[in-house]
């Protein structure tokens, strides 16, 4: 049949039946048209008999040139043949993905298989299907194309193919052929990306989750929608000789299960060895409060982390750890569910004010409210004492890894997602990008703090949250508080925002002071998010609800940087510039400017002489995205040649380990290390 098979995999049985009905219909038309053509051109006797048999089939009432259809039994046989053929194709695709290192898309069809095998054999396959030998095999036939036959030809090529190495991409094709060959969804072994000149460099355009504004790429999205395409005008900067920036890879969120055991020891070890082979400096891992102290207060289980740290040390890698005092699940990128400790949840059932609360009274159990930092309500302990005891237990139980330098940095979780911010944009409460979010200060403990602050100013009627801020998904101009000239810049607004942001700063100050007592000889850090939407408005509404008092007429990050400097902590900034490459319209519509936010935060840190680390917010596997991240880490145009103390790549997922992706990532690591990366015109090697 001549029908397309783009719905080959992942369709329901009803969809298959509908497709097959269309196949039968098209086959009828094809046979009728073909019969007419053959009769008029002096076809063979066999073809003439075929035409006659088609004409003998039952037509519609009225006859006379009307549309003819095939008997129902023949349609059913066609459906069975089609299902059988699709089942065979599915097994072929599965085998190629599993054993041949082919990155075939989920809904790949037989054309993708043939194209992949043809390219493996050194042929050039153009987007329209035109196929011809590479220059190393011969010249292109005059007049256009030579098609690669399906069926037996594909099986013949498959029998001759060899699996490419896991970490190396090799081919006999020239760079000229690469520029003319557009590879879509198929891993085609070719020259190493190191050898491709800037004018012919491939770009992996990663498809992101379109469901939510800030949604990142899930593993499924990356595997099924990633496209390999080559831009002709990609220019790259030379970072050779620049300062060495250590590279860490964030481990999967569920690398340690709820029993505090390694979830997949063998698989993790395999991936760690690959990372070591491409000279990654170390890994970053969450130490979940809900796992370690999950069942009873002050009963800690570090067994799984001890095994993990030992494995990392054996490979001579370093570790950055995150003291995760928040839950996992419900946020963008969360693929596991790790709640707060059970005993904390029991307290929360009788006293829900231990959680952040919005104006409607909705509780957010993602982390504890900062209002209870000094309230002795957690089985006789304050929240600060609970955090301190947890960190001290880590320092005692895993002392060997701290003292021998395996643990290079301890990042202190200060809020949702481990970041220093209020949970102002909870997806579970209906927030969607680019909503301004809501203030989270309506638990009784924070309201008590607000009342105290208002009383000290002599304006007790200010002891309330603003009532004209809209809802989670409002836009600034639709509210009386955040609009241009709104209440955010009035006397009450400035009082409230100053108090709201000061609670955030005080929380960071208290926990970091305790962390420095525990980890006196280690580097500690605090993570800041990139809240970039509505940055081009006067109020910077999304930043205000997140706790950053940073309207257009005030610097809200200087005080935070000074607090980190006070405790010798590194500022770990989550960057979002790569998001602009994938979704530029979202940022222009939300008046967002990730690069401007980043530069403001970085300058606040530099002004206070605070070290800076960075991590990306979305998965990235393409050359363009990596180049964008390099510019945000290396600052090539900075006359002072400033750079970051480390970079954490998010995150170790199966897609990163795929052939082309891991080669691109190795290239990225080399540039962060300041090494020379050879281009094609400098070096070329065929294997």
- Could you give the CA distance from residue 482 to residue 448 in angstroms, rounded to a whole number? 25
Catalytic residue among 615, 658, 664, 666: 615
Other beta carbons less than 10 A from residue 492's beta carbon: 16
Distant-in-sequence, close-in-space partners of 213: CB < 8 Å, separation ≥ 6:
432, 433, 434, 533, 586, 590
Name the DSSP letter for residue 263: S
CB 436 within 8 A of CB 536: no
End-to-end CA distance of the chain: 39
Q: Closest Cα partner for 415 from 438, 391, 395, 440?
A: 440
The answer to whether residue 615 is catalytic is yes
Angle at CA 223, nearest 5°, toward 124 and 273? 95
- Could you give the CA distance from residue 52 to residue 655 in angstroms, rounded to a whole number? 55
Which residues on adjacent β-strands are paired with residue 328?
A: 338
In the chain, what's the furthest Cα-to-Cα distance? 105
Name the DSSP letter for residue 328: B
The answer to whether residue 375 is catalytic is no
CB 319 within 8 A of CB 406: yes
| Residue 193 tokens, joined | 């990306």
CB 247 within 8 A of CB 673: yes
Kindly report the backbone phi and psi dihedral angles of residue 221, in degrees, each rounded to the nearest multiple of 5, phi listed first.
-65, -40
Region label for 298, one of left (φ > 0), alpha (ψ between -120 and 50) or beta (otherwise): left
Catalytic residue among 419, 543, 595, 664: 419
- Output the DSSP codes for 579-616: HHHH-HHHHHHTT--HHHHHHHHHHHHHHTT--EEEEE
- Residues catalogued as catalytic: 419, 615
């Amino acid at each position: 049949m001549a029908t397309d098979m783009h719905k080959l995999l992942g369709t329901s049985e009803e969809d298959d039946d509908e497709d097959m009905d269309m196949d039968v219909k098209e086959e009828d038309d094809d046979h009728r048209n073909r019969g007419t053509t053959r009769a008029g051109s002096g076809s063979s006797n066999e073809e003439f008999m075929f035409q006659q048999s088609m004409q003998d089939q039952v037509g519609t009432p009225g006859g006379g040139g009307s549309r003819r259809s095939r008997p129902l039994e023949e349609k059913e046989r066609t459906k069975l043949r089609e299902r059988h053929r699709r089942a065979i194709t599915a097994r072929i695709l599965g085998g190629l993905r599993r054993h041949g290192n082919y990155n075939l898309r989920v809904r790949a069809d037989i054309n993708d298989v043939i194209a992949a095998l043809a390219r493996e054999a050194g042929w050039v396959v153009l987007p329209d299907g035109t196929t011809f030998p590479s220059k190393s095999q011969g010249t292109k036939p005059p007049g256009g194309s030579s098609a690669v036959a399906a069926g037996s030809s594909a099986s013949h090529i498959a029998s001759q193919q060899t699996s490419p190495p896991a970490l190396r991409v090799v081919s006999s094709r020239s760079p000229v052929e690469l520029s003319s060959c557009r590879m879509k969804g198929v891993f085609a072994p070719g020259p190493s990306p190191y050898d491709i000149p800037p004018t012919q460099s491939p770009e992996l355009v990663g498809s992101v989750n379109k469901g939510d504004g800030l949604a990142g790429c899930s593993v499924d999205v990356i595997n099924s929608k990633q496209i390999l395409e080559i831009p002709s005008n990609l220019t790259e900067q030379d970072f050779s000789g620049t300062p060495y920036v250590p590279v860490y890879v964030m481990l999967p969120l569920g690398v340690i299960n709820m029993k505090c055991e390694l979830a997949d020891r063998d698989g993790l070890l395999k991936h760690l060895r690959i990372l070591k082979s491409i000279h990654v400096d170390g890994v970053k891992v969450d130490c979940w409060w809900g796992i370690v102290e999950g069942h009873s207060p002050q009963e800690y289980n570090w067994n799984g982390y001890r095994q993990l740290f030992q494995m990392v040390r054996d490979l001579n890698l370093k570790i950055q750890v995150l003291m995760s005092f928040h839950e996992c699940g419900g946020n963008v990128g969360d693929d596991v569910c790790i709640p707060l400790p059970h005993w904390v949840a029991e307290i929360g059932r009788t006293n829900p004010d231990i959680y952040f609360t919005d104006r409607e009274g909705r509780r957010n159990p993602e982390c504890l409210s900062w209002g209870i930092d000094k309230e002795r309500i957690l089985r006789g302990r304050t929240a600060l004492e609970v955090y301190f005891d947890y960190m001290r237990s880590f320092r005692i139980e895993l002392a060997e890894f701290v003292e021998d330098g395996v643990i290079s940095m301890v990042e202190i979780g200060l809020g949702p997602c481990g970041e220093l911010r209020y949970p102002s944009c909870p997806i579970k409460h209906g927030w969607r990008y680019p909503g301004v979010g809501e203030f989270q200060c309506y638990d009784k403990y924070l309201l008590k703090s607000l009342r105290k602050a208002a009383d000290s100013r002599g304006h007790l009627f200010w002891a309330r949250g603003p009532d004209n801020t809209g809802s989670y998904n409002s836009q600034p101009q639709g509210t009386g508080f955040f609009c241009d000239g709104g209440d955010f810049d009035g006397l009450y607004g400035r009082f409230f925002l100053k108090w709201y942001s000061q609670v955030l700063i005080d929380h960071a100050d208290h926990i970091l002071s305790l962390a420095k007592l525990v980890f006196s000889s280690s580097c500690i850090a605090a993570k800041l998010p990139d809240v970039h939407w509505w940055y081009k408005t006067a109020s910077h509404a999304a930043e205000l609800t997140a706790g950053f008092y940073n309207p257009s007429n005030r610097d809200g990050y200087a005080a935070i940087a000074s607090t980190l400097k006070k405790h010798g902590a590194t500022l770990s900034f989550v960057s979002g510039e790569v998001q602009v490459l994938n979704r530029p319209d979202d940022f222009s519509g939300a008046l967002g400017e990730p690069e401007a936010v980043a530069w403001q935060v970085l300058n606040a840190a530099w002004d206070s002489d605070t070290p800076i680390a960075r991590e990306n917010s979305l998965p990235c596997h393409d050359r363009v995205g990596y180049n964008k991240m390099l510019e945000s880490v290396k600052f090539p145009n900075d006359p002072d040649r400033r750079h970051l103390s480390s970079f954490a790549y998010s995150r170790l997922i199966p897609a990163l380990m795929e052939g082309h992706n891991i080669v691109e990532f190795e290239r990225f690591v080399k540039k962060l290390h300041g090494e020379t990366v050879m281009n094609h015109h400098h070096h070329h090697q065929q294997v």
